[in-house]
Amino acid sequence: MRTKNGQARRTRLPVVKWRECQRPDGFTAWLQLLHSYTKRLHIHGLNQLLLPTMRRRMRLLWCLALVCAGTVLISVCYLLAERYQRKHFRTIIANAHAPMYHIAFPVVIVCNKNRLNWSRLKEISQKYNITGAHQPLFERVLTAYDALSFRHFHVFDKLSNDTLHSLNHLNFTEIVSELAWRCDEIMLECIWQMKPRDCCKLFRPRRQPQGMCLAFNELEQRHIGDSGIGTGLIVRLLLRQESHAPNNYRPKGFVLNILQSSVWSGYPIELLPESTTRTNIGVSAVLHYFDENTFDLPIHWRRCIRDYERNSPEFRTLLGHKYMLENCIAECYQLYMLRYCNCTLDLFYPPSNYPPCRLVDLPCLAAHNGVLQNYEEVGERPYVHSSRPGMVCECMHNCHSLELLTDLRKSVLMPWQFSNTTKAITFNIYYNRDEMLIYKTGLIYTWVDLLVSFGSICQLCLGCSLISLIELCYFGIIAVPRLCWQHQCLS
């Protein structure tokens, strides 16, 4: 090309184009691929860093900015992953007004402190052919059973010097069950939901750590929707002191257990023989459950057990019963009796595969009463001083457990409400309120929270999203290997 003066004028190509012309064709192809990728790249800063026209000084600044952003991204991602791995829990109130009629009315178990009706002793002696020579020993054994309960095996101390083999063939669990109080012998009146009822249709015999007792609502699981005094169960009990064992000098009265139907035993409530007062026991309920996000964690981490986790080593419960904390402790007690005396006292527990204690085994229980009456929590020894060892039971709560709270109060009966029979005891069990609390325990930081936090920090540091990561993966996994393969084929 020439100017007006006829002089030739040089045609200058852009510097970039000139440099591309000086480079091999393979390198040009790489630049074209990189340029086509950076034009649609959504990762902030990386497209600026890879622009072919970028000057070295600006490229260095963008590189430092990306290094700083990447460092922050990696550090925060590490903290998020560490927080996720800790698996911390939180407990919140899921429902503060759940209706009480959704759960069954508690099981009420009534036990006489004098376990046996001594007026039937003659009848039982004749039934089991107890001779005159064996009658004193027979009565001493039954007197011990009359005051027997778990942690009170010392009542068998008096039998350690006797020759017990003569009566060892007898099944004293069966004999004690036949001598136990019947509903029509100790129950004068029963009122359920403000209507008089037949006590023997409401209560049935049941084994307990206090011996043979009478249980209400164990199988029927009746529900009520009312709350307040008089809306639940009212029972008037007769002490019948004239039919007690003459050599049992322990305090008279009754023992109540209030628990849910899936629990074998609970904490006893003592009732004293007072004919002018009534014991009012208000019941409140608290339900606690773990949500589904915690079920994938190990048992020792979440500290609760599900019903289907029967194969885990922490699962321990009474035969044929649902796993509950109280059932696990009861099974642990049986195992300790089995360890020291090679038998269990089947009078206290439901039928099992363990060998029951015979008469000759009872002094062994008395000899180890110091251990069997001392219960230790796991890990308490460094903090609680104890002069003798005890039972250590590694038991956990069920992941869906109900706790019953009782509020005991006394009220004075009106003169026309006094019982004509002396030494009568009246108790009234009802719901304090018609609503209950429900607590839910879950993970503070779940995998959903981790994903949201990771996306937020990527957007903060690099301004990218999941689509940007897919583009980067496509470039590194598909586009680059395909270009390498094409050049290899051409060469």
Across 386-469, the runs of DSSP E, i.e. the strands, are 391-392, 397-398, 400-412, 424-431, 435-443
Least confident span in 54-63, 116-125, 254-263, 308-317: 54-63
3-state SS, residue 436: strand
The first and second tokens of residue 310, run together, are 């029967």
Decide if pLDDT at 491 tops 90.
no
- Provide the b/e sequence for 31-67 (b: ≥16 CB within 10 Å): beebeebbeebebbbbbbbbeeebeeeeeeebeeebe
Which CATH entry fits the domain spanning 92-443: 2.60.470.10, 2.40.50.250, 1.20.1280.50, 2.40.320.10?
2.60.470.10
pLDDT in tens, 427-453: 999 999 999 999 999 998 888 888 888
Of residues 137, 425, 140, 87, the one with CA closest to residue 281: 425
Of residues 108, 352, 326, the one with CA closest to residue 218: 108
Instruction: Give the domain ranges of the chain.
Output: 15-86+451-490, 92-443
First to last CA, the chain: 39
Distance from C-alpha of 304 to C-alpha of 401, rounded to nearest angstrom: 10
Q: Which residues contact 339 (CB under 8 A, 6 or more apart)?
A: none
pLDDT in tens, 220-272: 999 998 999 989 999 999 988 999 999 888 889 999 999 998 999 988 999 88
Decide if pLDDT at 21 tops 50.
no
